[in-house]
């Protein structure tokens, strides 16, 4: 048994019938647990590291100024397409 499998826990959840059918059709019955785990992981594991990284980026004034100039430039690009 892999160490990943040894660290797993069983969880029973309730979802709407259409969500279940979509998961079953697209992911397959044996892949739903892994799909949901991978989907939830960035939201519930290591959140402090992500918040710290975003705070560090926001504190970088030169990077923030460059990002703002870039995003403001996009507005002009959209206006040119009309």
Residue 1: the pLDDT is 46
Contact 29, 22 (CB under 8 A): no
Residue 4: the pLDDT is 61
Q: What tokens appear for 44 in the block? A: 């519930």
pTM over 0.75: no
Residue 44: the pLDDT is 83
2 lies in the same domain as 41: yes
Residue 33: the pLDDT is 94
41 lies in the same domain as 54: no
Mean pLDDT by 10 residues, the chain (82 residues): 70 96 95 93 78 84 89 74 59
35 lies in the same domain as 56: no
What range defines the domain where residue 10 resides?
A: 1-45
The DSSP call for residue 13 is -
The phi, psi pair for 14, rounded to 5°, reads -115, 130
């Amino acid at each position: 048994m892999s160490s990943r499998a040894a660290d797993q826990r069983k969880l029973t959840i309730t979802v709407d019938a259409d969500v279940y059918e979509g998961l079953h059709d697209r992911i397959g019955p044996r892949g739903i647990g892994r799909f949901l785990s991978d989907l939830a992981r960035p939201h519930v594991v290591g959140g402090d590291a992500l918040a710290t990284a975003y705070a560090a980026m926001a504190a970088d004034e030169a990077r923030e100024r460059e990002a703002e100039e870039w995003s403001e430039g996009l507005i002009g690009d959209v206006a040119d397409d009309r």
